[in-house]
Structure 1
Amino acid sequence: MPKVFENWGAMRAAAYTEGHTPGDSCHRAERLPHLSEAIFRRLQRLEHHVGLTAFEDNGPSAEAHDGTMFESPETEDSSLRPLWPAIQVLKHSCSTGTGSTLWEERLVKQLWLSFHDTMLGLHFLPSKQTFSSPTPLMLAAMLYCSSMRGSEHVVVHASEYFTVLCNAISQLCMPASEIGKVPKDPGAAEEWAFQTILGIILAGLLREGVIKETGIWISVAYRLILEHCPPHIDERSLEWQRLFTGLQIVDLEHASIHLSCPVIPIEAPFPRLRISQQDQLYRLSRMMHTGLTHFTGRRLPTIWASFTSDHPVTSDSTTFSGVDAAVIRDWARQLDDWLVEFGARNEEASDQSNLTFRQYVLHRVLVLSIYLPARGSDLFSNTTPKEQHELLVSARAAVRLQLLDTSIWSNFDLIIITWAALIVIQGVDGGVGEPDDLEHVRVHLGRLQEAHEHSCNLHGLLANRLETKLQGLTTPQFGDAMSFEPDGTFDTSWYIFNQSSLDVGLDMSFLDGTMQHTAMS
């Protein structure tokens, strides 16, 4: 697959550096003409080491900094010089309301390297991407991602990098903005658009479900794809088909959590953007798109409402018609068939099989959560014992995904697993739990609490809701499948899903901690 983000960015940085005078001329070295820049920086480090304050000055740049600022392209680290054009745009156009420490060379370098070293692969774009000269929006997304998922001393900057990222995306809608300025050269324009769209997709993966504005971001990215996808694509072109698929994935995951209508059509408007109808992602996306579109606009309770409202609205089961039931059963049948076709295990594709099974389990919980009125509040409300049991078994399998797979990180996965954990807790509270149910829930809770994200983050919100439910348990009661039926018999033939689809993976013995997480994986 072709490498991206290389040639145009490097040429653009070089062209910018040659003969361009930065707008900010208040660098301290310029106010001390008798000292060279190198000597001045050494003095700065000595002052910082012994605890002295920096040179006092009443000018606008008199702040004391903990590192070298990106005030000129002549940075100490030559590997960071290609970042200079993007940083200048972000500093001047998108940093209102943020501190200047965001652009310290040491901090930017740490986040930059961390992104490339630790960012996991994306299912829709499996080839490892290199970012030598990112566009401003792509850089903003990378810095936010690294800071939000970084150590305690960098996570404190995440909220400000998020402000920068939001400002950058919003400027795409502003006439004549620096962020939205498209290069005149066709090749450079294509690279700019590809990176900008990928930056929005990354932002969407990090914020899907949490903020409704993610849907607006997706719409902007889709418009950019329609405008900038080249008329002809060959093996030398950028991976536009995969980019479109990635945007579609973010759209469907966000729509699933909020039970809203997807923005991106299931069929790409241009033949050159379409992938094979037998592709695994296409098949999964198609069934999701069909199902979500059918149930949108019904004011049904959403999964996200269970985390943001103390009293989520529930739906009366009588509102589901025979057509609704047929759609759900067809969705379940297609998902079972999808697992059979793409989940076959072999040594060469074991990781892919693991990811496929994970997606099957999570989407199974999603489908049952749309069908069953219990999803808004109570496992035992207006549902038959068979419905209760199928939902509980599926939720239990989702929670157990976290036991050995430490690579789960996407918002969609975490939200669905946490929602499944709430269902399992209800089962324990109602006397139909299994002895290890609470242990598995606490493993998931511990993973959420380990994250060093900034305040009001997704991990913290999910963890607080889960911990509150655990603390609200009275005396845990455990039973078995027969507890659902007064006569002690249990018939699983009614199930919407094929029960055997879970039997192979319920022990989770095949999972390993080295799996690479992917979007929609």
Structure 2
Amino acid sequence: MKCVVEENDEKCRRCMGSGLPCVFVPRVNAASLPEHILSYVGNDSSFREDVLHRLKVIEEFLGLPNPGSSAVEPTDTARVGDGDEQTLPEVSELSTPFDAARILEKTSPSSVPSSIWERSTIEQLWSCFHDRMPGLHFMPNKEIFLPPSPPPLLLASILYCSSRRGPPDTVGLAPHYFTVLCIAISQLCIPGSQIGTPSNNAEEWAFQNVLGIVLAGLMMEANVGQTGIWISVAYRLILEYCPAYQDETTRDWRNLFSGVQIIDLEHAALHLSCPVIPLEPPLQSLKISHRDQLHRLSRMMHTGLTHFTGRGLPTIWSCFDQAPAAVANITTSNSFTAVDGAIIRDWARQLDDWLIEFTQRADGSDKDRQLVFRQYVLHRLVVLSIYHPARGCDLWSISMTPIEQHELLLSARSTLKLHIHDDSIWSNFDLVMITWAALIVVQGIQGGIGEADDLENIRFHLYSLKRMNEPKPSLYDKLISRLEGSLASISTTVSDGFRQTPYDNLGPGCELDQAGHIFDPASLQQMILPASSEQMGILQ
């Protein structure tokens, strides 16, 4: 039943009596819509907003980019799409992100609140990025993170990283910026999208997009499985836009490629998956000297991880992603062979040689040696953990020899102490591996071979995790919950005062044969540093 509007009326009698808006729907062959109906529809703002809102929902469901912003309630706060240039900040370098922000706002879903596009918020996060994010050792020039005109993806990554590591008032915005970031990365794969279309300077556009993916990958490489897909997209951009020949005018593609390769290897180590980035880059302009520190580390990690991938082995991350009871019941039909053992021993030998070479260089600073030692300790624990998840993460598994127990526990203790000696640790890979080491040390305490400072070191790591502001639920919450649950299983008698047991008593009547170790037993002794009194005073 359609509305029948009288000649001089704005509503039909039925709609007027029921208090409903009256919309006259003409037949298909109608010549035109009556002028008073056009006037009614044009003046009814609520009807217009309702139609635009429904259209936006349909476009989002179909995955179509929205060419314009939907109607929003009036606000006194300036937003990036308001067009009032008087609200832009005075400083010229802070006004540059707003063009990219407008594009991000157009592609964001309606579930993202409009408050994240306020100019003052974007300005604050943009200007505070360097203060909140540490430098990357493979990209030493931090100024490249804030280019004169960032592409939308890099801006989304900066806004997410800066808000996630900011004070409580910005941490709450991080999940919304993460949604925007994921959509921006996906837009690279949509033909004709504004974010995926290169600018006039295609090389600069691709470089900044890859940099944005690197920043996002460092923050999400553990608990977001899609990080591997992001890495693949970044690698493809490098292959397509990296120039064949580089000079002083081109970007530092070599270091950027190293950064992507490092994230790829860390992600693969946690998930025991095959690395995406090849060991040797196919482009001559990306070739790195075989004497380079990061290249040497990448080579041995790539070779070792590739051998163990695709066999259905439980991973380090699976022990955090599953309930402790499920982890204890992990069984695998995969038997480890003599070839596996040979691969692990060669892997360990190369890591030992790498440590000696790069810590004894005369031109290296103390900070460089500290970085080398950190990478050595973390990757040493990765190597020794290949078998551990397959044994139910049980240090006292009957399939473990006393030598294996000793070496794994020694390496775990050294990894746990990293957080005491190095306050620059922040990436997901580092924090997951240190928490993994803490869980192993807890098992050592439970077995009666704890050392006097084990609990202090574990508590300091817990304190370091808890003081980090993160949107809820966060990776840190998962690590804290897992570690606190493990600590709760230690009996009061053991935790209050336990005696150190010599390593040669790890097994009944068994003496450790130093030649049976996978790693050089002396490798961890050359750089053991005392904890600072300021750091350890926190635990008093």
Distance 1:176 1:470, change over 3 A: same
Query: Is 1:276 the equivalent of 2:306?
Result: no
- Residue in structure 1 matching 2:256, options 227, 243, 247: 243
Distance 1:434 1:257, change over 3 A: same
Match of 2:450 in 1: 433
Distance apart, 1:68 and its partner CA: 5.4
- Alignment partners' CA distance in 1, 2:178 and 2:362: 42
Q: Specify the code of the residue in structure 1 equivalent to 2:526.
A: V
- Alignment partners' CA distance in 2, 1:236 and 1:375: 53
Whether the 8 Å CA contact 1:125–1:242 is kept in 2: the answer is yes
Distance apart, 1:444 and its partner CA: 0.3
The number of residue pairs the alignment matches comes to 452
Query: Is 1:218 the equivalent of 2:240?
Result: no
**Which moved further from structure 2: 221-230 or 477-486?**
477-486
TM-score between both structures, scaled by the size of structure 1:
0.83
Whether the 8 Å CA contact 2:314–2:390 is kept in 1: the answer is no
SS of alignment partner, residue 210 of structure 1: coil
Distance apart, 1:335 and its partner CA: 0.1
Question: What are the Cα deviations for residues 369-412 of structure 1, in whole angstroms up to 9, with x where unaligned?
Answer: 01345664211112011100100000000001111322100011
**Which moved further from structure 2: 288-297 or 503-512?**
503-512
- Alignment partners' CA distance in 1, 2:467 and 2:483: 14
Distance 1:62 1:106, change over 3 A: same
- Residue in structure 1 matching 2:133, options 109, 119, 136: 119
1:320-331 aligned at under 5 Å gives the runs 320-331=336-347
Match of 2:370 in 1: 354
Question: What are the Cα deviations for residues 452-486 of structure 1, in whole angstroms up to 9, with x where unaligned?
Answer: 10012111111111111111212425423133032
Larger Rg: 2
1:334-345 aligned at under 5 Å gives the runs 334-344=350-360
Match of 1:454 in 2: 471
Distance 1:372 1:345, change over 3 A: same
- Alignment partners' CA distance in 1, 2:204 and 2:389: 47
Query: Is 1:290 the equivalent of 2:312?
Result: no
Match of 2:430 in 1: 413
SS of alignment partner, residue 380 of structure 1: coil
Whether the 8 Å CA contact 2:153–2:212 is kept in 1: the answer is yes
SS of alignment partner, residue 516 of structure 2: coil
- Residue in structure 1 matching 2:480, options 463, 472, 478: 463
Whether the 8 Å CA contact 2:80–2:119 is kept in 1: the answer is yes
Whether the 8 Å CA contact 1:252–1:262 is kept in 2: the answer is yes
Match of 1:300 in 2: 313
- Alignment partners' CA distance in 2, 1:416 and 1:134: 33
SS of alignment partner, residue 237 of structure 1: coil
Match of 1:394 in 2: 411
TM-score between both structures, scaled by the size of structure 2:
0.80
- Residue in structure 2 matching 1:101, options 108, 112, 115: 115
Match of 2:515 in 1: 493
1:259-270 aligned at under 5 Å gives the runs 259-270=272-283
- Alignment partners' CA distance in 2, 1:437 and 1:218: 37
Distance 1:336 1:377, change over 3 A: same
Whether the 8 Å CA contact 1:252–1:285 is kept in 2: the answer is yes
- Alignment partners' CA distance in 1, 2:219 and 2:389: 29
Q: Specify the code of the residue in structure 2 equivalent to 1:220.
A: V
Q: Larger relative contact order (C-alpha < 8 A, sep ≥ 6)?
A: 1
- Alignment partners' CA distance in 2, 1:497 and 1:403: 23
- Residue in structure 2 matching 1:182, options 170, 189, 198: 198
Whether the 8 Å CA contact 1:379–1:388 is kept in 2: the answer is yes
Whether the 8 Å CA contact 2:139–2:256 is kept in 1: the answer is yes
SS of alignment partner, residue 421 of structure 2: coil
- Alignment partners' CA distance in 1, 2:524 and 2:292: 23
Whether the 8 Å CA contact 1:316–1:373 is kept in 2: the answer is no
- Residue in structure 1 matching 2:103, options 49, 66, 89: 89
Whether the 8 Å CA contact 1:205–1:411 is kept in 2: the answer is yes
Query: Is 1:165 the equivalent of 2:181?
Result: yes
Distance apart, 1:63 and its partner CA: 4.1
- Residue in structure 1 matching 2:209, options 184, 188, 196: 196
Distance apart, 1:126 and its partner CA: 1.2
Distance apart, 1:489 and its partner CA: 3.6
SS of alignment partner, residue 501 of structure 1: coil
Q: Which runs of 5+ in 1 are unaligned?
A: 1-58, 514-521
- Alignment partners' CA distance in 2, 1:308 and 1:340: 35
Whether the 8 Å CA contact 1:434–1:480 is kept in 2: the answer is no
* Alignment RMSD: 2.2
Distance 1:501 1:378, change over 3 A: same
Q: Which runs of 5+ in 2 are unaligned?
A: 1-69, 536-540
Distance apart, 1:365 and its partner CA: 0.5
Whether the 8 Å CA contact 2:313–2:334 is kept in 1: the answer is no
Q: Percent identity?
A: 52
